[in-house]
Amino acid sequence: MDFILILLIIFGVYAFYQRKKGKSWKSLMGLAIIFLAVLFIEPSPDPLTFGAYLSYKGIEFSSINASNLPAIIFNFEIWSILIGVFLLFIGIWVYGIKPKKILEKVNLGRFNLCVGLSFLVVILISYFNIVNWTTILIISAIVPLIYFTTYRKDKSEAFALLTVPPLLILFGLKDLLRFIFDKIPIPELLPNLNNPIVSWISVNLGFVQVNNISLVISVFISFIIVFLYVKVLKERF
């Protein structure tokens, strides 16, 4: 609730300031929708978004108990993020921001775009549950091969693109995505997760064995490592 209160205050002050500058009511409506989108994208259960989910699913609050709560929360978080992204696009459209201008300002560049495609490669590998490392490496080589042959013959950048998918998989992203694709909540304990890196992170975090928290933290660490790793290979070599 503190997060929502802070957002309400920020939105109220900003909307008042924009109105004083002569912004139209349509623009303010777009801002309101964007604000609502942020509430949904931030998936922590709150009375507004969680209540909306329970009403949408027809779930009585009294029927929630310790056995079905993890599954309900897991499904709520996915639903909330999807609704939030949908509302965000509507808010941007109502406000009058053109997606083309956003892309021009962001200016990702082909290398960063290929890094994003490497993340999509992991999603593809996870969706089809590919476990053979030879196949994984062959699929991972598609993006850097296209980048190297058609755009820039830079071996360090191509190597960075080649190693991004295996790095993310080693830190548990594929395991995390499998729970999402199988539409099942992540168990509190994951004793059968045979991943030495995630296990090492779990031990250093003070956990007896791999659990859902250590898995999510491991994936988050991999995102930071990938960001720094590709940045160094692109700029230093």
Instruction: Report phi then psi at 54, rounded to 5.
Output: -65, -40
Domain finish residue from 105, 126, 142 = 105
Q: Are residues 101 and 120 in the same domain?
A: no
Q: Are residues 212 and 201 in the same domain?
A: yes
| pLDDT tens string 124-178 | 999 888 899 999 999 999 999 989 998 888 888 999 999 999 999 999 999 988 8
- Give the type of residue at 220: F
Q: Are residues 123 and 63 in the same domain?
A: no
Q: Are residues 169 and 216 in the same domain?
A: yes
Q: Are residues 22 and 63 in the same domain?
A: yes
| pLDDT tens string 44-53 | 677 778 888 8
DSSP readout, the chain?
-HHHHHHHHHHHHHHHHHHHTT--HHHHHHHHHHHHHHHHHS-S--HHHHHHHHHHHT--GGG--TTTHHHHHHHHHHHHHHHHHHHHHHHHHHHT--HHHHHHHH--HHHHHHHHHHHHHHHHHHHTT---HHHHHHHHTHHHHHHHHHT---HHHHHHHHHHHHHHHHTTHHHHHHHHHTT-PPPSB-TT---HHHHHHHHHTT-SS-BHHHHHHHHHHHHHHHHHHHHHHHHH-
As a whole number, mean pLDDT of residues 104-110 equals 60
Domain finish residue from 90, 105, 120 = 105
The count of domains in the chain is 2
Q: Are residues 35 and 113 in the same domain?
A: no
As a whole number, mean pLDDT of residues 84-110 equals 70
| pLDDT classification of 11: cutoffs 50, 70, 90 | low
| 182 burial type by CB count under 10 A (0-12 exposed, 13-18 middle, 19+ buried) | exposed
Output the average pLDDT for the chain.
Answer: 81
Q: What local confidence, expressed as pLDDT, does residue 75 receive?
A: 79
Q: In whole angstroms, how large is the CA radius of gyration of the chain?
A: 21
Domain finish residue from 105, 127, 159 = 105
Q: Are residues 115 and 95 in the same domain?
A: no
pTM > 0.75: yes or no: no
Q: Are residues 173 and 222 in the same domain?
A: yes
Q: What local confidence, expressed as pLDDT, does residue 222 receive?
A: 92
| pLDDT classification of 2: cutoffs 50, 70, 90 | very low
Q: Are residues 86 and 126 in the same domain?
A: no
Q: Are residues 157 and 46 in the same domain?
A: no
38 Cα distance to chain centroid: 14
| pLDDT classification of 21: cutoffs 50, 70, 90 | low
Question: Which domain range does residue 211 map to?
Answer: 108-236
206-216 in b/e form (b: 16+ CB < 10 A) is eeeebbbebbe
